Structure 1
Amino acid sequence: MNALSGLAVNPALPESLMLRLLRSPVPDDVLPFLVWRSGLPERVAEALIGHPEVRVRECFAVNPHVSAGTRSRLARDPVLRVRWPARFSTVGPGPSRRLARPAPPAPGPAGSADHRGDRRAAEP
């Protein structure tokens, strides 16, 4: 861990220093420590949402601690790599939301076509 990573993990890091780190090129080894914090100040969250680097917004989009409003804004990002995790990441405690395969249609009366288009023989 380098000095910038140490700063990024410091829970007492002031908002002004967080913003300063975001204005400079954020090293890859520092980025997760900075954007995965819980309770980010509103100005820092705004800076992350509007950050010009996609990798910064993408990393922030998978932060499980962001509010629903922030996640909603990230889900409208023009870049798919940011939208996708923002829409389908875990939000709060519990299982993550997953894309589910649609359920097949309910079976009809005997002899009707099933969901594969087959005709089933009527059962006695």
Structure 2
Amino acid sequence: MISPEKQAALEERMAKLGVVEAELVEKFILGSGAGGQKINKTHSCVYLKHEPTGLEIKCQASRSRELNRFLARKELCDALDEIRLGRASKRRQEAEKIRRQKRRRSRRSKQRSIQDKRILSQKKNLRRSPGRDD
């Protein structure tokens, strides 16, 4: 259940951004994924489209349709804010960071890493006491 204060805050934010309910196309889609029989039988996934900008939002964060409606509108406001202010979203930045981390290293980068390891190994070998032959 969404508190009236949160609902009012969202409506105020939508008004500031110039989002009118009449400009939104809302559909309820059959849920999918984890959640068992309940999620697979109910149309709790919310699809929102803001017609002036063409932004499309799908929200299935909860099993509750009302909560998903609220979250979809909130997500739409976040997306419109990003467009207006021209900044990258946190979610997009995190996805980009993960993509960079998973990217294969270049051949030159691998060679440099191996060379650094060899140098470190040589340094460690020089630390051994002089009398031992291992």
TM-score normalized by structure 1? 0.28
Q: Normalized against structure 2, the TM-score is what?
A: 0.27
Structure number having the greater helix percentage: 2
